[in-house]
Structure 1
Amino acid sequence: MANIQEEWLEKAILERHIKSIDYNKFTDPIVIGEGGFGKVFKCEWKDCELTVALKCLKVDTTSIDEKIIKDFIDELKLLRSVSSHQNIITFYGVTKDSNGNYNMILEYANEGTLREYLKTGFTKLQWTDKLHIAKEIAHGLLFLHENNIIHRDLHSKNILIHQRQPKITDFGLSKQIDEITSNPNAHGMPAYVEPQCLVNDKYKRNMKSDVYSLGVILWEISSGRPPFPSFESVLSLAVYISKGNREEPIEGTPLQYIKLYKQCWDNILLIDQKQV
């Protein structure tokens, strides 16, 4: 880990903004994923008898502005203070592994991603179940926005299901880190991206960008499948969406539900408590 990131993390730990847990408290590591930061492990936390996810924070920061690193650490502090929300993955703190790299200690979701959950269990879901999932995700996003956190990369693989409860993960500046470190998946989900982002590289994602993504997720919950599955090329799909094309409503979907996700797509809606 580069010095700048380590310095900011250790400063936050010393000031007790972020908890640091001994790495030897975690056992039975299994690789369950990989992102712009590095590998993600499923582990057992002995002291707490919890299954957790350890997400490596190993980043080559030579090409990253120091302000981005500082902002990311600030966001970790904020996450630590607000991650008690039932629709946000819990952030327990950090741990330094045997290679000297810091890892985020995160709540482990036992039912995988929303994408996987819909794929395997959609036929069993009633509309009451679908509305519950949609409402809980909206509650989580509202909570982030009320705390001035923009997700920037909301899609069905960044929503996890734990004991049937949806939980938002991988938000905020982690998206910027992914892009800067040239993570091949950083631009790999155009179906969920606000069209302005697809046509303007300099467009800064904001809360309305998140709401657009939420609209796509609401449609996905109604259909049980990812949007635009027939497109093999990321570029061709991005062009198609930027021309104003959207998925069609699924037969049997409540009209008010359709109206809601279309308002998300049309950028005329910001989430508020009355709507969720």
Structure 2
Amino acid sequence: MKLIKEWIEEKITNGSIPYFEYDEFSEITDLDSGNFGQVFKANKGDMKIALKIIVNRSSKEKINEADDEFTKELNLLHEIGSHPNINGLLGITKGPKDYILVLEYANDGNLKDYLEEKFATLNWNDKIKMALDITSGLKFLHSKEIIHRDLHSKNILVNKGKLLIADFGLSKKLADAKTGSVANKMGIIGYIEPLCFNKTYYKKDKKSDIYSLGVLLWEISSGHPPFSGCSQDLVNHYIQNDEREKPIEGTPPKYQELYEKCWNGEPKSRLDTVEVYTILSQLSTEDFSYLPSPQPDETNPSVDNSYGFHISTNFLTIL
């Protein structure tokens, strides 16, 4: 089996992945850390970029199962290519110790933090544009037969008012998705369709992303993540009873109907990205400036128990 170093160098040599010299970057500062590495902000000339460390092991170490997933992720990022609503891969570099992804930089951070800070200033036309941005990016992924599998507000970045889907560590080509995978249950629980916990051999697909999209559309309307402030035990109780967050007062009826179709408990009843995009595009032409925007203290978590199946009581222990 190939060494990680050999595999990366082969991709650089054949032009599959653009390569940048590390000394091309300046003013490198710590930005964030997550499940798949450490992220830094840096300058490349007059352009801000993000550097993400993805390899933290000796180049002599053989590719094991985790490394195989890393190579798939890198290939996937390259295959995705460029889209206005995707946090794109610019290339790769080699730091003092590790290979590093070179990514687009988002100046306003992630959607979760952005909503916490800016929610009071957003009107409904702003919110529908945000929903349209996410849906546009997801529609592009699905057109390439790629499923994200980990959509939540910390994996949506905001750059100069534009939303970008990011973090493809759990993403898969649709044909490569497996049934009964532990990865089906990885992520933030409020955004994962309940069937992932209810059915042992359930296989995530495009409709799984649509469920997560529905939750994101609700979050844009509320300003906070699902079940915010609830204990894990309470979230467990809500999910066991297949409950959802209640609509926020003042939500346009068509928007509410849209996200409720997206997070329907039955995958076949959910819309696809083209349908969601079409509806949001229509809504984006309407004037909602007359609708008041709820303030953060008006959007306390509440749930709706009108959906339909049950989850085993111990699923939270696997997260």
What TM bracket, shorter-length normalisation?
A: 0.7 to 0.9
CA separation in 2, counterparts of 1:141 and 1:157? 15
CA separation in 2, counterparts of 1:172 and 1:206? 16
Q: TM-score, normalised by structure 2?
A: 0.75
How much has 1:199 moved relative to structure 2? Answer: 3.2
Q: 1:73 to 1:8 in 2, by over 3 A?
A: farther
How much has 1:70 moved relative to structure 2? Answer: 4.1
Q: 1:11 to 1:161 in 2, by over 3 A?
A: same
CA separation in 1, counterparts of 2:192 and 2:262? 12
Q: 1:31 to 1:139 in 2, by over 3 A?
A: same
Render the CA deviation track for 1:27-85: whole Å, top value 9, x for unaligned: 11111111233211111113xx1111100111567651665344223213213xx22x1
Amino acid at match of 1:77: H
CA separation in 2, counterparts of 1:50 and 1:247? 40
Amino acid at match of 1:108: Y
Q: 2:101 aligns with which of 97, 104, 121?
A: 104
Q: TM-score, normalised by structure 1?
A: 0.86
Q: What's 2:205 paired with?
A: 206
Q: What's 2:73 paired with?
A: 72
Map of 1:33-112 to 2, 5 A cutoff?
33-46=32-45, 49-58=46-55, 63-64=64-65, 67-79=68-80, 82-83=81-82, 85-99=83-97, 101-112=98-109
Q: 1:262 to 1:97 in 2, by over 3 A?
A: same
Map of 1:66-215 to 2, 5 A cutoff?
67-79=68-80, 82-83=81-82, 85-99=83-97, 101-171=98-168, 173=170, 187=186, 189-200=188-199, 202-215=201-214
User: Residue 157 of structure 1: SS of its match in structure 2?
Assistant: helix
How much has 1:262 moved relative to structure 2? Answer: 0.7
| C-alpha RMSD of matched pairs (Å) | 2.4
Q: 2:272 aligns with which of 248, 270, 274?
A: 270
Amino acid at match of 2:262: C
Q: 2:259 aligns with which of 261, 265, 275?
A: 261
Amino acid at match of 1:64: E
The question of 1:249 aligning with 2:250 is answered no
How much has 1:228 moved relative to structure 2? Answer: 0.4
Render the CA deviation track for 1:92-145: whole Å, top value 9, x for unaligned: 10000011x111101111111111111111111111111110111111110111
**Higher Cα Rg, which structure:** 2
User: Residue 20 of structure 2: SS of its match in structure 1?
Assistant: coil
How much has 1:4 moved relative to structure 2? Answer: 3.7
Contact kept in structure 2, 1:53 and 1:105, CA below 8 Å: yes
For structure 1, which segment, 30-39 or 20-29, has the greater mean C-alpha deviation from structure 2 after superposition? 30-39
Amino acid at match of 1:215: G
The question of 1:31 aligning with 2:30 is answered yes
Structure 1's unaligned 5+ residue stretches are: 176-185
Contact kept in structure 1, 2:147 and 2:171, CA below 8 Å: no
User: Residue 249 of structure 2: SS of its match in structure 1?
Assistant: coil
CA separation in 2, counterparts of 1:205 and 1:59? 29
CA separation in 1, counterparts of 2:167 and 2:113? 17
User: Residue 217 of structure 1: SS of its match in structure 2?
Assistant: helix
Q: 1:150 to 1:15 in 2, by over 3 A?
A: same
Identity %: 41
Structure 2's unaligned 5+ residue stretches are: 173-184, 281-319
How many residue pairs match? The answer is 259
